[in-house]
Amino acid sequence: MTTGGTGSTGVAPVPRAVWIVFGGLMIGNALSSLDTTIVATASPTIVGDLHGIRELSWLATAYLLTAMASTPLYGKLGDLYGRKRIFLFALVVFMVGSILCGMAQSMGQLIGFRAVQGLGAGGLMSLPFAILGDLVPTRDLAKFIGYSSIVFLVSSVGGPILGGIFSEHLSWRLAFYINVPLGLVAIYVVGRYLHAPVKRTEHKVDYQGALLLVAAITCFVLLTDWGGTKYGWVSTPILGLGAATVLFAVMFVFRERRAPEPVLPGRMFRTGTAKLAAGLNFATGLAFWPALYFSAAFLQYVHGVRPGVAGLYVAPFMVGAVGGNLVSGRAIAKRGTYRKWPIAGGVFCIAGGVLLGVSQTDTSLVVMLGGAAIVGFGVGFTMQTVLLVAQNEVELRDIGVATSTSFLARQMGGTIALAALGGLLNNRLAHWIPRLTPADADLDLESLRGTPQKIRELAPAVADGVIESFSRSLSVVFWCLVPVGIVWLVLALMLPDRPLRSDDVVELDARDDTGLAATALEGHGGF
């Protein structure tokens, strides 16, 4: 299939086939972001209904753990069996996990089913951009990533609003069931219109390495979640988890050195630029997930924002992330340079973290929402920019692995941040609630059941103490974004500005990866 003539800039127009495929891929990719924002807004209601306020951060952590483990595997499996087939498989797994989440009757069940969702989400996050990396030059890919912000904007802004409406007026279970019809649409579009030649590359999938990585991070998650709250820091369970974390981490390093095709391939980090890109991906994960989940919690627990409208208040953060992504993507596509965007991202993370950190019960919502929006812009400036950097640093045959490795670093950052900061939140709440509520109230985290609005039905002195406890505890969590931003800025300042690749792509073929004719795409030119 030809791409048509070139324009005045000498760049060939993108074939219509690629735009059709792009739309289908973005529907699937949007499911993961839609689910994230819906659940973030609905999470206070969910943990209240299922009596699991201590497990608030686990709603995202369980999801991220399995997504993190599966993301690099999807890159290899896509090379082995065709990215189209594996992307459709990921969609099915995600939909099954969504149905199970909607049926959950306890926090334990929901956390387990969120892990199933994460297994599918790993493919939905990384494979679309790996497929696009096959179809368009890296420089044009920046433009496509900018356009993906339109879909991301709808899901990111609509997700919190839907999450609030579902949890307050209908049922929070719809936050999961809504994924099913959208998933079916994505399956139809991608199944029918994605027809690219499959160049099978034999791989030895490192399942053992993936399991060791998840085991190490799971032990760390439990350590940070239970330490100082459920168990003392020097208790046998916590010391045992610390030892297990170190043991599994060491075993993972040794495994990666010996594995024929490790989860984290050494060649992905041969250049200093690739290492910096991985570090920046990790930093964006450290900032993005806590800012989203804990901002929603602050609004509902501290300011008493109802779930039905909480999504409107979370929207500035997501609009910032999308706006930053769109602006940086279009600028990079036009100029071919990228270094200034991660630098700006680090500055914005620091500034936004300060504004969030100073937010208290009597602080104007404008300050808090402004801080969230600024962090969002910082994430948007950086997140997809460093994905382009990682793809640009490898050979074309490694684009899939580079993409999945980038998402792995980001998910690892998010998982560790949510675990550590969720444990910090529980620890601070356990510290402040007994000190800020009347002695005869006899309150602890387990006694705070029901939706966040139920707190305001307590006796005034008790309710004020609980709200102040959440305010002080969440403030400490937000201040942790500042050192993250400082490290982020230092890494970005070290990043060189290399030219982006503008050729060597895979053309769409007239046959799909099963050999069936793809007549629907034949004869289309560029837009």
The 3-state DSSP class for residue 413 equals helix
Delimit the domains of the chain by residue range. 16-206+260-497, 207-259
The count of other CB atoms within 10 Å of the CB of residue 486 is 15
- More confident site: 234 or 281: 281
Q: What is the mean pLDDT of residues 330-344?
A: 79
Q: What is the pLDDT of residues 200-214, one digit of tens each?
A: 555 566 778 878 877
Confidence of residue 247 (pLDDT cuts 50, 70, 90): very high
* Average pLDDT score, the chain: 74
- If one looks up domain 16-206+260-497 in CATH, what number appears? 1.20.1250.20
Helices and strands in the chain: count of H runs, count of E runs: 17, 0
Pull the structure tokens for residue 509.
Answer: 């073929």
Q: Whole-model pTM?
A: 0.67
Dihedral sign of CA atoms 115, 471, 379, 349 in order: negative
140 pLDDT above the threshold of 70:
no
- More confident site: 7 or 128: 128
Pull the structure tokens for residue 119.
Answer: 């297994």
Q: Are 90 and 123 a contacting pair, CB within 8 Å?
A: yes
Judged by average pLDDT, the poorest of 176-180, 219-223, 351-355 is 219-223
- Distance of alpha carbon 484 from alpha carbon 382, whole angstroms: 13
Residues forming beta bridges with residue 511, ordered by sequence position: 517
Q: Are 217 and 416 a contacting pair, CB within 8 Å?
A: yes
Residues forming beta bridges with residue 231, ordered by sequence position: 227
Q: Are 167 and 41 a contacting pair, CB within 8 Å?
A: yes
Q: Are 489 and 125 a contacting pair, CB within 8 Å?
A: no
Pull the structure tokens for residue 104.
Answer: 């959950």
What is the percent of the chain with per-residue pLDDT over 90, rounded to a whole number? 4
The 3-state DSSP class for residue 198 equals coil
Q: Which of 146, 163, 457 is nearest to 313 (CA)?
A: 163
Q: What is the pLDDT of residues 37-71, one digit of tens each?
A: 777 777 777 777 777 666 666 777 778 777 777 77
Pull the structure tokens for residue 163.
Answer: 């999450």
Q: What is the pLDDT of residues 74-89, one digit of tens each?
A: 777 776 777 778 888 8
- Distance of alpha carbon 464 from alpha carbon 486, whole angstroms: 34
Residue type, 171: S
